[in-house]
Structure 1
Amino acid sequence: MRIVLVNVPHPAIGSRIPREQLPPYGLLCIGGPLIDEGHDVSLVDGEFGPMTLAALVAEVVRRKPEAILFGHSGSSSAQPIIAAAARTLRERLPRARIILGGVHPTYYWREILRDEPAVDFVVRGEGEETARRLLRALSLGLPTGCIPGIAFRENGLPVATAPAPVITNLDFYRVGWELIDHARYSYWGGKRAVVVQFSRGCPHLCNYCGQRGFWTRWRHRDPVLLAKEIARLHRDHGVEVFNFADENPSAGRTPWRAFLEALIAENVSVTLVGSTRADDIVRDADFLHLYKQAGFERFLLGMENTDEATLRLIRKGGTTTSDREAIRLLRRHNILSMATWVAGFDDQSDADLLRGLRQLISYDPDQIQALYVTPHRWTPFFRLAKERRIVQADPTRWDYKHQVLAMTRMPPWRLFLWVKFIEAAAQLRPRSLRRLAWNPDPKIRHAIRWYYRMGRRVWIHEILGFLFRDRLESDGPTLGAFLGAPQDHEEEASSVPVRARAARKPLAAAT
């Protein structure tokens, strides 16, 4: 079967400003099993350019696909763009099957199938096995109603099969690296780059996270096999930077250390960047030198807030003490720390934001990423926020970089000024500028200077967007009225096998 994987352009994401692209890892994960199944698979990456909708459609039509698979690289904010592309492609390719997958479609399959007649199927949850089964059935003309993990229409109404089982062996399906030209993808200041994944899921229960339930449970790849894959990509394709897509790769201390040691044994000079929890950094204080030897140059630490009450509200599970200690430990090993700070969790005042700035500066991270809380209907946080009013009705702006929820004590323009001021104050203080001027490690020096160049451009871009592009609601509907009823009862997207479910708690304790 001739299949085209489509990554739509997503111009709302400010980080596209540096004009560096990372490959759409999720689509490559789907592509590998489909290629191995014998299908003719290709990728159209609309992020290059970015492509206009007309150009994207023309390129897909030129390849004459029998099936078109859209992946949700931008989650909810990508849906309007995907829907527009699907409608146009349905007109041009009436016989092609159009399939959606990713986080947003997993939970919004009813609305998508109700409102978008161009879409034939939705893949719910992890897609490697489900997409393989679905495309095999379509190519052979077999019934699809017994395939777990999909949604479709039956007698004109949206229906879904049972959730697909969680994938327990992440090494069983290979990534379709042959779908991309590695020379076109770069990150970290022009270095050839890809996205990789050591684990899926997260054992923690942060109630606002839109990813945790999608993966259902935490699992990891074979540490040695991933190390070998990274080494091969470096040696055969010149890949220098590996961006980890994991929510919490270091959740398991033993397998994580095994991966670091295996990569060090491969003796390749690579740059690794990723996200983890401050608690894990503190826990691993005795072997943080292995992080550095393996190639880690930066960790994004999901701190979310500097206020203990807010951390309890969102069930973060961490403490401000461990956040501070993690930053200190990373600096001791010359690994950059990027602290995320999220505005809009509660009804903040000017005094609250000023206190938050002072606390953030006292943490002394190397970099910060200021975001806005973005509620998802399938998370427990949605119930806490469903009576709050929204200020942003354009779903393409629900990308964590635009304010979504109204604040009682301040209008959107003032919160925006605070966020921009917090970013500038944290990055332009004398201590940060001294680090910009000099670092003994040339790789870290390059990383710091690249980040400042990129950050300056993104900062200006976001100010111009707020002033001239974004449209904010002065009296918007409540979150519940805008999105619908909570669906946190459906948060876990995959079914856990009985044996794995029984072993879940001991497994978490053992790792």
Structure 2
Amino acid sequence: MKILLINPPHTAIGSRIPREHLPPLGLLSIGGPLIDAGFDVQLLDAEFGPLTLRQIVERTRAFRPDIVMLGHSGSSSAHATVLALCALLKLALPRLVTVYGGVHPTYHWDEILRESPQIDIVVRGEGEETTRSLVQALSAGRALDAVRGIAFRRDGRVIDTPAAEMILDLDAHRIGWELIDHRRYSYWGGKRAVVVQFARGCPYLCNYCGQRGYWTRWRHRDPVKLAKELARLHREHGVELINFADELPTGSRKAWQAFLEALIAENVPLLLVGSTRAGDIVRDADILHLYRRAGVIRFLLGIESYDEATLAAIKKGATTSEDAEAIRLLRQHGIVSMATYVIGFSEESDRDYWRSLRHLWRYDPDQIQLLFATPHRWTPFYDTVADRRVIQPDTRRWDYKHQVLAAKGVPPWRVFLWSKAIELSMQLRPRALARLLFRGDADFLHAMRWYTRIGRRVWFHEVAQFLFDNPLLKHGPTLREFLGPSLVEREYALARRRRVIPIDRAADPQRGAPAHPSRKHSPAAVTSPR
């Protein structure tokens, strides 16, 4: 059978402004097992261009696949594009089987299959084993009931099979790197780049996270095997930068240190960027020199809020003092710190925005990423904001860069004004300008200057879009009226096997108490096959 993996174009500002693209890791992750099973697989990455939906249909028609598989790291904000594309594909190729996977369809599978006849099958949860079993069943003409982790239609009824089991051995399925031309993918100002995962999942209970339950539990790859794979990508394909898609790559100090030491031993000039928790940076204060020697140049710290009450309400499991210390430690070791600030967890007032700006000044991060709280129906956060009003009706803009929910007492124009003022203030403060011009080594300076150039372009683009292309609802429906009831009972997407690989806190005296066994993904995130 011929299978075409399609990475649909995304409307998010971040996808369009940098003019650089990273490989779609989720699709490559299912591509490798499918190739190894003997199937003819190709990738169509429509982010390049980006391609129009009509152009995608024409290229699909030229390949004449039996099956098209779609997914996107943008997940919910890419959903409308996926549906529109599949409708055109079905018109052009009526016998085509469309398979849709990723975070959003994992939780909305029944609605999608009831309301969208252009989607034939939904893959729920991790895709490597499920998609291979699915295609083998389709190829042999077998019934799909025995394939775990899917949903499909039969005789007008929507049928779901039992949840797929977690993949405990993350090295059991190889990534289909041969599906891409590495010369086309870059990041960080022209550096040849790939996306990888060291670990999947997160043990913390942040109630807004749209991916925490998707992975169900934290697991990691073999540290030495991953280091060798990254070194091979550098030596054979000229890869210079590694972007970690993990929610928490540093979750196990022991495993993460083993990876850093193995990569140092490979002696390859790679740069590493990713996201982690401030607490792990503080925990690793004595080995941060290994981070830098291995090539870590920037970590995004999921700080989210600078108010202790808000941190408690969203179950972040962090403190403001720990966050500030992590930024200081990263700077001490020549690693760029990026702090997030999320607007909309509560209905902030003007005074709250001013206080957050003052906290940001005090934290003094090298870079900031300002985001808007975006509710997902399968998260506990959804119920806490279900009665708030929706002002952004276009779900393609539910990309964390647009305000979705109204705030009482602060109209959208003033929220936007605060967000742009905070970004401008942080980028133009004297310390930031000094780091941009003088501080650090060549890699540090490149990171600061590249991000500033991109940030400037995004900033002006967002202002223009808000002024001229941002229709908002003045008296919109409540979130519950707009999206429907909560799906929080579906949060954990995978069946748990009896034997698990836990975060090794017990073996790590500096780590603290073991994680609660019920704790457990991006975008993400970038997953299988989002």
Task: Give the C-alpha shift of residue 200 in structure 1.
Answer: 0.2
What pairs up with 1:62-461 in 2 under 5 angstroms? 62-461=62-461
Distance in 2 between residues matched to 1:43 and 1:244, nearest whole Å? 21
Per-residue deviation, residues 467-506 of structure 1 (Å, max 9, x unmatched): 1112111111111111111111110000101333999997
2:382 maps to amino acid: F
Are the counterparts in 2 of residues 15 and 458 from structure 1 also a CA contact under 8 Å?
A: no
Distance 1:255 1:503, change over 3 A: closer
The CA deviation at 1:165 is: 0.4
State the Cα deviation string for residues 66-95 of structure 1 (Å, max 9, x = none).
Answer: 000001221100011000110000011111
Q: C-alpha separation between the residues in 1 aligned to 2:3 and 2:37? A: 12
Is 1:58 aligned to residue 58 of structure 2? yes
Q: Does the aligned pair in 1 maintain the 2:70–2:99 contact within 8 Å? A: yes
Amino acid corresponding to residue 125 of structure 2 in structure 1: G
1:192 corresponds to which letter in structure 2?
A: R
User: 1:101: Cα distance to partner?
Assistant: 0.2
Deviations 1:161-214 (A, max 9, x none): 111001100000000000000000000000100101100000000000001100
Structure 1 CA distance for aligned equivalents of residues 285 and 15 of structure 2: 31
**Closer, same or farther: CA 506–110 of 1 in aligned 2, 3 Å:** farther
| Contact 1:14/1:462, CA 8 A, preserved across alignment | no
**1:285-320: CA deviations, max 9, x gaps?**
010000000000000000001010100010000000
Count of aligned positions: 511
CA distance, structure 2, for counterparts of residue 467 and residue 495 of structure 1: 47
User: In structure 1, the residue corresponding to 2:143 is in which secondary structure?
Assistant: coil
For the residue of structure 2 that corresponds to 1:388, the secondary structure is coil
Displacement of 1:439 in angstroms is 2.6
Spell out, residue by residue over 1:353-380, the C-alpha distance to the aligned partner (whole angstroms, 9 max, x if none): 0010000111000000000000000000
How far 1:155 sits from its partner (Å)?
2.5
Q: Distance in 2 between matches of 1:156 and 1:337?
A: 52
Which stretches in structure 2 are left out of the alignment for 5+ residues? 516-530
Q: Deviations over 1:129-156 (max 9, x none)?
A: 0000000100111111121100011331
Percent identity among equivalent residues?
60
Which residue does 2:463 correspond to in 1? 463
Aligned to 1:24: 24
Cα distance in structure 2, aligned partners of 1:194 and 1:344: 32
> What is the TM-score when the length of structure 2 is the normalising length?
0.95
- How many angstroms does 1:16 deviate by? 2.7
What amino acid sits opposite 1:167 in the alignment?
A: I
Matches of 1:444 and 1:313 in 2, distance apart?
Answer: 35
* Match of residue 488 from structure 1: 488
Structure 1 residue 510 displacement after superposition: 6.1
Query: 1:50 and 1:470 mapped to 2: Cα distance?
Result: 21
1:120–1:153 CA contact under 8 A, matched in 2: yes
- State whether residues 72 and 104 of structure 1, in contact with CA within 8 Å, keep that contact through their aligned partners in structure 2: no
Structure 1 residues 113 and 306, CA, compared in 2 at 3 Å: closer, same or farther? same
| Structure 1 unaligned spans of 5+ | none
Report the counterpart of residue 523 of structure 2 in structure 1: none
The one-letter code of the counterpart of 1:250 is T
**What letter matches 1:205 in structure 2?**
L
Q: Would the aligned equivalents of 1:200 and 1:219 in 2 still touch at CA under 8 Å?
A: yes
C-alpha separation in 2, matches of 1:426 and 1:262? 37
Q: For the residues of structure 2 that align with 1:205 and 1:351, how far apart are their CA atoms?
A: 28
Distance 1:212 1:387, change over 3 A: same
Rounded Cα–Cα distance in structure 1 between residues aligned with 2:504 and 2:360: 36
Contact 2:130-2:149 at 8 Å conserved across structures = yes
| Distance change (3 Å), C-alpha of 1:501 and 1:22 | closer
Q: Give the conservation status (yes or no) of the 8 Å contact 2:252–2:504.
A: no
In the superposition, relative to structure 1, how do residues 235 and 329 fare at CA in structure 2: closer, same or farther (>3 Å)? same
SS of structure 1 residue aligned to 2:42: strand
Shift of 1:414: 0.6
Contact 1:29–1:175, Cα closer than 8 Å, also in 2: yes
How far does residue 264 in structure 1 lie from its aligned partner after superposition? 0.4
Distance 1:455 1:129, change over 3 A: same
| AA of the residue aligned to 2:123 | V
CA contact 1:14–1:461 (8 Å) conserved in 2? no
Query: Offset of 1:159 from its aligned partner?
Result: 2.0
Q: With the length of structure 1 as denominator, give the TM-score of the two structures.
A: 0.98
Tell me the distance in 2 between the aligned counterparts of 1:233 and 1:220: 20
**Is the Cα contact below 8 Å between 1:7 and 1:46 reproduced in 2?**
yes
Which deviations, in whole Å up to 9, do the C-alpha atoms of 1:309-346 show, x marking residues without a partner? 10001000000000000000000000000001000111
1:427 is displaced (CA, Å) by: 1.0
TM-superposed CA distance for 1:33, in Å, is: 0.3
- Contact 1:275/1:299 (8 A) holds in 2: yes
- Name the SS of the counterpart of 1:500 in structure 2: coil
CA distance in 1, matches of 2:268, 2:331: 23
Amino acid in structure 1 at the alignment position of 2:485: A
1:15 and 1:338 map into 2 onto residues whose CA distance is: 19
Letter in 2 for 1:346: S
The Cα shift of 1:422 comes to: 0.6
CA shift, 1:59, in A, is 0.8
Structure 1 residue 118 displacement after superposition:
1.1
Structure 1 residues 15 and 45: CA distance shift in structure 2, 3 A: closer
* Contact in 2 for aligned 1:102/1:123 (Cα 8 Å): yes
Q: C-alpha separation between the residues in 2 aligned to 1:466 and 1:26?
A: 32
Q: In structure 2, do the counterparts of structure 1 residues 504 and 494 end up closer, same or farther at CA, with 3 Å as the change threshold?
A: farther
User: Partners in 2 of 1:284 and 1:502 — Cα distance?
Assistant: 19
Superposed CA RMSD in Å reads 1.5
User: Aligned with 2:146: secondary structure?
Assistant: coil
Partner amino acid, structure 2, of 1:132: R
Q: Distance in 2 between matches of 1:72 and 1:485?
A: 24
Using the TM superposition, give the Cα deviation of residue 56 of structure 1 relative to its aligned residue in structure 2, in angstroms.
1.1
**How far apart are 1:157 and its partner, in Å?**
2.2
Q: Counterpart of 1:439 in structure 2: which amino acid?
A: R
CA deviations over 1:198-235 (Å, ceiling 9, x no partner): 00000000000001100000000000000000000000
Larger mean CA deviation between 9-18 and 209-218 belongs to 9-18
